[in-house]
Amino acid sequence: MKVFAIAAAGLAATAAIALAQERALKPESQVKLRKSAYALMNYNFATLEAMAEGKRAYNQDEAGKAADWVANLSEVPKRFFGEGTDKVGETRARPEIWQKRADFDAKMDKMVAEAQKLPQAARTDAASLKKAVDATGDACGACHDDYRRK
């Protein structure tokens, strides 16, 4: 957990600096930032998903904290799909992101909107959490289907 907290603090600090210099970021840096955000989102979403599927006991406090992370981090990746990020480093981003940007952005906005519902649902009960996890997962999957390489 200590490693996670240090990594999260590092990401938060890097993201804060990057937000001020977004347009000036090299494509390589943008890819690293979005991958870091996704990694932390996935780590926390996995906790929520396990609780929603009954593979892990529902714990309101733990679920709330994980949901806060997912909700906050969900807004980060979209900012780091700038020009040239499809041509650097290892990325599963498909070229269609830049060819169909409006659709990609709409799907990312839907994912963010669903992720924003997670904290309240996580602090309500297991049934509410399951519903919010399913909706967020569906929103993520819609984007992955069209814009992420397998």
At 106, phi and psi to the nearest 5?
-65, -40
- What are the residues whose beta carbons fall under 8 Å from the beta carbon of 142, sequence distance 6 or more? 107, 110, 111
- The tens-digit pLDDT sequence of the chain (150 residues) is 555 656 666 666 565 554 545 568 999 999 999 999 999 999 999 999 999 999 999 999 999 999 999 999 999 999 999 988 988 888 999 999 999 999 999 999 999 999 999 999 999 999 999 999 999 999 999 999 999 998
Rounded to two decimals, what is the model's pTM? 0.82
Q: How far apart are CA 52 and CA 39, in angstroms?
A: 20
